[in-house]
Chain A
Amino acid sequence: MLFNSIEFIIFFPVVVILYFLIPKKYRYLWLLATSYYFYMQWEAKYVLLLFFSTAVTYLCGILTDKINRGELTEERKTRGKKLCIAGSLFLNLGVLGYFKYLNFLIDTWNKVTEHLHMGASFSTMEILLPVGISFYIFQAVGYTIDVYRGDVYAERNFLKYALFVSFFPQLVAGPIERSKNLLRQLGEPKSFSYENLRKGLLLMLWGFFLKMAIADRAAVIVDTVYGNNVFWSGMYVIVATMLFAVQIYCDFSGYSTIARGAALVLGFELTDNFRAPYYAVSVKDFWRRWHISLTSWFRDYLYIPLGGNRRGKLKRDVNLLVVFAASGLWHGAAISYILWGLLNGVYQVIGDFVRGVTAKIRRVCIAGERQETFSDRLLKRFATFVLIDFAWLFFRAGSSVRALQLIRGIRQMDWMILINGSLYNLGVPAEYFRVLLLMIVLLFWVDSKKNRGIDLVERFLAQRWWFRVVAELLLIFVILLFGCYGELYDTTQFIYFQF
């Protein structure tokens, strides 16, 4: 069930109304049932995987907790806990590996053996990737690590814990919630709040706008160009790649915003996954603003355990590259994703080096600190966007070979297509193209406020009722008139569902 489907428009109000009508004590059971139903709409049998991951991490948490409280020596406690966490990691990552990476490994092995003329090849298997598997497994594994570290107590109520892993608004594409945030909230009884309802619905509406009016409309152009890179090259690839940056942002943040809104209507606050990422002044800054829940997961559960930045610059850079390669691999089982991740890692390593050098030069040449100006920030933002967008090319191309083909094609530049109307031949008519650009301007305006720490939702809700109604209806009609839906378009899945 997609958020931008009629099924969800019917499903969600039913869930909310019954949720608040059921006695508080049993509400989490209703949410659990609806969450499993929501997941089963894709492929019912894969709910067993969700249950398996939930059961394994739950038992691991309980065992770890028991060991912690038991009267054992510290050494035996540590060994027991390590065994538990290793078991949880092995089983969960094993499931993830089988469903997501086995064919990639077989394929890579076959290519290597073919290259070396070894002839020991295996045939790939027909495995359908369960939707959202990377998200819920990371969330569940994160919980076991938290219990292992003693950051949280193990949840005793299995059903409540099962809800934590399967909570439907964030089940299939995050945000990857921490047990400290979501599990704690699930334990507290929630009352109906009009304020939450208004805020939640507004967030959902904004999410639908991002997804249907911007992301899916931009996707038409991106798919046209990336679908035939022989015919569309040069400037077309640059325009399409820039639009892909907008598409993936609106697609993913659209989902996250709908998820946050839906959870808020039910009384739960989810992590904000994005903080105006294209206003970042460096690649490092970008990753503090993009997919925050995943970045912080990798930081806390991989980068820091690897040593973080505590063991010298070289080790820090290696750790950074390992984390970003892993992040690329998390996104997809293909070399192009690893390259995309590594490229982002390399940007940061080089960025740190350049920053160090320029700081030294400044110290020597310029006495005192210079105030950063608007033009400095503008230049940094532009440079960061160019670097990030170049990396997106690898992400969107789907294979490293195609990515290189596209890059080679960029050399044939024809600047005139920007003004002679050729861009209107990419599947989006002229009027819609102009409206798309206007909507992107609106998006960046909203993000500029967010970047300055202004809560536009609060400001909006503080306005007079007539203004709110008119603005909300305007947004609805913009979605209805410019959004992608219905018979003329395939309902585009959220890009991050595939991860």
Chain B
Amino acid sequence: MIRHNLSIFNFRGMLKILVGMAYAFILFLSVCRLLNFLYMEDDERARIMWHNFYEQEENIDYICVGSSHVYSAVNPELLDQKTGENHYNMSTGGQRLRESYYIIKEADHRNELKGVYLDLYFLLSIEGMGDYNNLSAVSGGWKNLDYRRFSLDKLDCFFHLNPPEYYISAGLPFTRFREHLCDHEWIYSMQANKRRPEYRNYQYRWETENGRAEYTVKGFFYDNREMSDLCLDAEKVPENMRMAEDAEEYLRKIIEYCKKNEIEIILFQTPVYKLEAIAYENYDDYTAGIKEIAAEYGVPYYDFNLAKEEHLPIQDMRYFVDTGHLNANGAEMFTEFFYNVKAGVPEENKNMFYESFREKLQSESAGITGLYYRQGRTDEIMRGEIAENMYRMTIASNRDEELEYQIYLTPEGGETVMIQDFSDNKCFDIPVEERGVCRIVWREKGDLENWMEMEVGY
């Protein structure tokens, strides 16, 4: 039965509809908030970073954007002290260039931004990882949506960070955790976490016997632990190190945006522990590609992995938490050097860097840094080069041919076995489930008297 018809221009009727819809919408949002509160697991660092960003009373002059190894490396407070300007580190874990672009826009729209320091961490920009077409890339971006205040920019970011099939998960965070719907333990742990005073006061800190970590008010992550592991999982190493199409597109967008809005931009590569750069075997291809783009736009690019040891003596385990992240001491040293480079004359700065990573390795005395491992790719397994369920271990050496290695393995609970006498072969395979200690003895080819050795847990 049709009780009443309303013309589209019947304003009273329309008002009734709109009020009804508003009620329903408010109720919907309230239930969503409740469900978010019950089920949503926060990315605490991103939550604090965004909260503190909106709470900044002074204008933010410079921002630093990038992934987790940037929030571990650049201390804005040190830069503030040196420059007298307000710096803020807007890096978040796994941040890709697409996210960085929208973060820069948000920062610029809410501040009179003078400069952007953009990190181009190779692991998140190379083909595969840098492509914005998989769940891990898309869901990685949600942390930079969840805590942003509502604005048209946020909507713009929402539609550009998510393909349509992800809209619901991106817009309604509780739906990401719906597999925990009847999981009382999950709900209880979420509640316990959210009731902590630290959580409510936007603080993130912890302490273990190995050290202490704290997220500071300006987006810097202080961590004073020291690196101990020299065996790197290199599963994500691609066959080539070209920048992904999506990453390049957004890098260009960022540069163009900054140029258009007269914002200074510095491209850089935060230093990683040498082992990681060696593991990404064609590292120089990646850095050469960025140099070309930087030259095309006339913007500076500093790859701090190419910094000369006398200027940045950071390649020491005492300055890293792990191969990708600097610790507090490393961050202090790096921020200082970053400031010097930024304050220096670009032409003179060139003298502080090598042209390529290969050149840097050649300038050092021959030696090894550790081990890296990965499972065989499908084609390698098909060709029988690497057996299934085996790790291909590779010695991270700064020489291709000049050294020879003797390798001993001591599996957990087993006896030490020499698996290779002196030979220039750097690779060997072990079963994926095996754990133990690997002792590598190396010497220059033909030098029978001088040798060195290293023990690496695997």
Contact present for B175 and A465 (CB under 8 Å): no
Contact of B181 among A192, A481, A487 (CB under 8 A): A481
Is there contact, CB below 8 Å, between B5 and A193? yes
Complex formed: what's the CA distance from A481 to B13 in Å? 33
Q: Judge whether B452 is part of the interface by a CB distance below 8 angstroms.
A: no
- Residue B6 interfacial (CB < 8 Å): yes
Asked whether A473 and B5 contact (CB < 8 A) given A6-B167, A7-B164, the answer is no
Question: Assuming A5-B164, A486-B166, is B135 touching A194 (CB within 8 A)?
Answer: no
B28 in the interface (beta carbon within 8 A): yes
**Complex contact A194–B5 (CB within 8 A):** yes
Q: Does B299 contact A (CB under 8 A)?
A: no
User: Is the Cβ of A194 less than 8 Å from the Cβ of B8?
Assistant: no
Question: With a CB–CB cut-off of 8 A, which chain A residues contact B23?
Answer: 469
Given A6-B165, A465-B20, A485-B165, answer yes or no on A192-B6 (Cβ-Cβ < 8 Å): yes
**Interface residue? A43 (CB, 8 A):** no
Contact flag A486-B165 (CB < 8 Å), given A194-B13, A458-B1, A473-B31: yes
Quick one: which of B267-297 are within 8 Å of A by CB? none
Residues of B within 8 A of A109 (CB): none
How many chain-B residues does the 8 Å CB contact rule pick out? 32
**Which residue of B is nearest A487, CB measured?**
B135
Q: Given known contacts A191-B7, A195-B2, A195-B3, is B178 in contact with A469 (CB within 8 Å)?
A: no
Which of B1, B4, B17, B175 meets A481, CB within 8 Å? Answer: B175
Contacts of B31 on A, CB cut-off 8 Å? 473, 477
Inter-chain CA distance A196–B182, complex, in Å, is: 37
Which residues of B (168-209) have their CB < 8 Å from a CB of A?
A: 168-169, 172, 175, 178-179, 181-182
Q: Does A472 contact B (CB under 8 A)?
A: yes
Instruction: Please tell me if A20 contacts chain B, counting CB pairs below 8 Å.
Output: yes
Give B1-52 interface residues, CB cut-off 8 Å to A: 1-8, 13, 17, 20, 23-24, 27-28, 31, 35
Q: Indicate if A105 sits at the interface (CB-CB under 8 A).
A: no
**Contact indicator A429/B164 (Cβ below 8 Å):** no
- Could you tell me which residues of chain A, from 193 to 227, have a CB within 8 Å of some CB in chain B? 193-197
Measured between C-beta atoms, what is the minimum distance from A359 to chain B in Å? 41
Q: Which residues of A contact B420 (CB under 8 A)?
A: none
CB distance from A254 to the nearest CB of B (A): 18
Residues of chain B with a CB closer than 8 A to A458's CB: 1
- Which one, B3, B7, B27, B166, contacts A487 given CB within 8 A? B166
Interface assignment of B335: CB less than 8 Å from any CB of chain A: no
- Give the contacting residue for A431; candidates B1, B172, B182; CB below 8 A: B182
B167:A431 contact, CB within 8 angstroms:
no
A469's contact among B13, B27, B168, B169, by CB below 8 Å, is which?
A: B27
Within 8 Å of chain B (Cβ to Cβ): is A127? no
**CB proximity of B176 to chain A, nearest CB, Å:** 8
Query: Which chain A positions have C-beta within 8 A of B5?
Result: 191-195
Secondary structure class of chain B's binding surface, majority of residues:
helix
With a cutoff of 8 Å between Cβ atoms, the chain A residues found around residue B178 in the complex are: 480-482
Q: In the complex, what residues of A have CB within 8 A of residue B27's CB?
A: 469-470, 473
Known: A465-B20, A486-B165, A487-B165. Contact between A193 and B172, CB under 8 A? no
B410 at the interface (CB under 8 A from A): no
Question: A476 with B1: in contact, given A192-B6, A487-B169 (CB under 8 Å)?
Answer: no
For the complex, what is the distance from the CA of A470 to the CA of B1, rounded to whole Å?
Answer: 23
Interface centre among A477, A486, A491 (most CB of B within 10 A): A486
B172 to chain A, nearest CB (A): 6
Instruction: Name the B residues within 8 Å of A481 (CB-CB).
Output: 175, 178, 181
Q: Which of A347-373 contact B (CB under 8 A)?
A: none
Tell yes or no: B329 within 8 A of A by CB: no
1/0 contact string of B297-309 vs chain A (CB within 8 Å): 0000000000000
Known: A194-B13, A458-B1. A469 touches B175 (CB 8 A): no
Distance (Å) between the CB of B133 and the closest chain A CB?
12
Residues A6 and B164 in contact in the complex (CB < 8 Å), given A191-B5, A193-B6, A481-B178: yes
The complex places the Cα of A477 from the Cα of B2 at a distance, in Å, of: 29
How far apart sit A482 and B182, CA to CA, in the bound complex (Å)? 12
Nearest CB to that of A10 among chain B residues?
B164
Task: Give the residue name and chain of the B residue nearest to A6 (CB).
Answer: B164
Nearest-Cβ distance from residue A468 to partner chain B, whole angstroms:
9
A30 to chain B, nearest CB (A): 14
Q: Say yes or no: is A416 at the interface (Cβ < 8 Å to chain B).
A: no
- Given known pairs A473-B27, A481-B178, the reply for A20 and B168 (CB within 8 Å) is no
Which residue on chain A has the smallest CB distance to residue B16? A194
Answer yes or no: B369 CB below 8 A from chain A CBs.
Answer: no
User: Which of the listed residues A469, A481, A485, A487 has the most CB atoms from chain B within 10 Å of its own CB?
Assistant: A487
Q: Find chain A residues with CB under 8 A from B168 CB.
A: 6, 480, 485-486
| B24:A487 contact, CB within 8 angstroms | no
**Cα-based distance from A317 to B181 in the complex (angstroms):** 53
Q: How far apart sit A151 and B182, CA to CA, in the bound complex (Å)? A: 58
Type the 1/0 row for A331-345, where 1 means its CB is closer than 8 Å to any CB of B.
000000000000000
Distance between A445 CB and nearest chain B CB, rounded to angstroms: 23
For residue A487, which residues in chain B have a CB less than 8 angstroms away from its CB?
135, 138-139, 165-166, 169
A192 to B172, Cβ gap below 8 A? no
Q: How far is the CA of A375 from the CA of B191 in the complex (A)?
A: 51
Taking each of A20, A191, A194, A458, which has the highest tally of chain B beta carbons within 10 Å of its own beta carbon? A194
| Shortest Cβ distance from residue A483 to the other chain B in the assembled complex, whole angstroms | 9
The reply to whether A194 and B172 form a contact with Cβ atoms under 8 Å apart is no
Interchain nearest-CB distance for A1 vs B (Å): 10
Which residues of A in the span 416-443 have a Cβ within 8 Å of any Cβ on B?
429, 431
A192 touches B164 (CB 8 A): no
Chain B residues near A480 (CB, 8 Å)? Answer: 168, 172, 175, 178
Q: Are B181 and A486 in contact (CB under 8 A)?
A: no
Question: Which residue of B has the minimal Cβ distance to A195?
Answer: B2
A473 near B4: Cβ-Cβ < 8 Å:
no
Is residue A21 contacting chain B, with contact meaning CB distance below 8 A?
Answer: yes
Q: Give the chain B neighbours of A470 by CB distance below 8 A.
A: 27
CA distance A195 to B4 in the complex (A): 7
B336 to chain A, nearest CB (A): 43
- Chain B residue at minimum C-beta to C-beta distance from A196: B2
Contact call A431/B6, Cβ cutoff below 8 A: no
In the bound complex, do residue B169 and residue A20 qualify as a contact, i.e. CB atoms below 8 Å apart?
no
Residue of A nearest to B39 (CB): A481
User: A477 contacts which chain B residues (CB < 8 A)?
Assistant: 31, 35
Tell me if A473 and B28 are in contact (CB < 8 A). Answer: yes
A residues less than 8 Å from B165 (CB atoms)? 5-6, 485-487, 491
Least Cβ distance of B316 to chain A in Å? 41
Which chain A residue lies CB-closest to B182?
A: A431
- Whether A21 pairs with B8 at a CB distance below 8 angstroms is yes
**Could you tell me the distance in whole angstroms from the C-beta of B388 to the nearest C-beta in chain A?**
22
**Complex: A469 Cα to B26 Cα, angstroms:** 11
Q: Assuming A6-B164, A469-B23, A487-B139, is B6 touching A194 (CB within 8 A)?
A: yes
B35 surroundings in chain A (CB, below 8 A):
477
Residues from chain B with a CB closer than 8 A to the CB of A472 are: 24
CA distance A22 to B164 in the complex (A): 29
B166 → A minimal CB distance (Å): 6
Q: Which of A179-199 contact B (CB under 8 A)?
A: 191-197
C-alpha spacing A473/B29, complex, angstroms: 11
21 A-B pairs, CB-CB below 8 angstroms? A5-B164, A6-B168, A21-B8, A191-B5, A192-B7, A192-B8, A194-B4, A194-B6, A194-B13, A195-B3, A195-B5, A469-B20, A472-B24, A477-B31, A480-B178, A481-B175, A481-B178, A485-B165, A486-B165, A487-B165, A487-B169
Taking A6-B164, A194-B13 as given, write out 19 further A-B residue pairs in contact, using a Cβ cutoff of 8 Å, ordered by the A residue number. Answer: A6-B165, A6-B168, A192-B5, A192-B7, A192-B8, A194-B5, A195-B2, A429-B179, A469-B20, A469-B24, A469-B27, A477-B35, A480-B175, A481-B175, A481-B181, A485-B168, A487-B165, A487-B166, A487-B169
Residues of A within 8 A of B (CB): 5-7, 20-21, 191-197, 429, 431, 458, 465, 469-470, 472-473, 476-477, 480-482, 485-487, 491
State the B residues within 8 Å of A (CB): 1-8, 13, 17, 20, 23-24, 27-28, 31, 35, 135, 138-139, 164-169, 172, 175, 178-179, 181-182
